[in-house]
């Protein structure tokens, strides 16, 4: 007989309920793991290849339409990427983070774009991700700060 924290007897969970809970746990952990691996992949690309290679990879990543039982929202995927950035071994650059986020979102069925922009004074370049012209992984007023250079 099992007791819950209130000291009452707890009924055991059915196998179906246990499987559903396990699926939810895996579905929530999978994007964070994918995010971490994508950060590592894009770090290697940025270190050993050119920015043109990075641009090519992001541009050619198709939007995949998955028929998953538990669809993942764009907010959950961006949160997973944020967690991966926190626990990554090194400081994550905005270009690396944005490229990885776009690929992650596209793999989960979101039509995301990576946007690069520049600020003239003081000179500063930045990259962020948009879905339908809405910034999803940064501050919503990025268009007011940076002049858009490229979308891919």
Q: pLDDT digit string (tens) for 92-144? A: 999 999 999 999 999 999 999 999 999 998 999 999 999 999 999 999 999 99
3 falls within a domain: no
Does any domain span residue 7?
Answer: no
- Answer whether residue 1 is part of any domain: no
DSSP code for 110: -
- Let me know if residue 4 belongs to a domain: no
Kindly state the average pLDDT of the residues 45-54. 92
Confidence grade of residue 35 (pLDDT, cut at 50, 70, 90):
very high
35 within domain boundaries: yes
Specify if 100 maps to a domain.
Answer: yes
* pTM of the predicted model over 0.85: no
Q: What is the mean pLDDT of residues 33-58?
A: 93
pLDDT at 65: 81
Residue 2 covered by a domain: no
**Does residue 126 sit in helix, strand or coil?**
strand
| Per-residue confidence band for 14, with pLDDT thresholds at 50, 70 and 90 | confident
Answer yes or no: is pLDDT of 7 > 60: no
| Average pLDDT taken over every residue of the chain | 87
Do β-strands 112-119 and 147-151 pair in parallel, antiparallel, or remain unpaired? antiparallel
Residue carrying the six token digits 């650059």: 93
127 or 18, which is more confident: 127
| H/E segment holding residue 128 | strand 124-131
What range defines the domain where residue 57 resides? Answer: 14-151
Instruction: Read off the pLDDT of each residue in 26-43 and give the average, rounded to a whole number.
Output: 88
Count of structural domains within the chain: 1
| Rounded-to-integer distance, Cα 80 and Cα 103, Å | 13
- Is 5 domain-assigned? no
- pLDDT, position 83: 93
Single out the residue of 65, 78, 38 nearest to residue 54, CA to CA.
38
Residue 91 DSSP label: P
By mean pLDDT, which of 33-42, 67-76, 80-89, 106-115 is the weakest?
Answer: 67-76
pLDDT at 4 over 60: no
């Amino acid at each position: 007989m099992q007791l819950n924290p209130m000291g009452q007897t707890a009924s055991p969970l059915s196998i179906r309920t246990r499987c559903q809970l396990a699926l939810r746990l895996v579905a929530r952990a999978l994007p964070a793991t994918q995010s971490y691996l994508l950060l590592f992949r894009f770090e290697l690309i940025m270190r050993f290849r050119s920015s043109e290679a990075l641009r090519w990879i992001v541009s050619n990543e198709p939007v995949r339409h998955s028929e998953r039982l538990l669809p993942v929202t764009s907010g959950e995927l961006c949160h997973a990427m944020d967690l991966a950035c926190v626990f990554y071994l090194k400081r994550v650059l905005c270009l690396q983070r944005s490229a990885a986020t776009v690929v992650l979102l596209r793999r989960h069925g979101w039509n995301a774009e990576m946007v690069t922009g520049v600020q003239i004074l003081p000179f500063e370049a930045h990259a962020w991700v948009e879905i339908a012209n809405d910034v999803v992984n940064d501050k919503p007023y990025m268009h007011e700060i940076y002049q858009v250079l490229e979308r891919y």
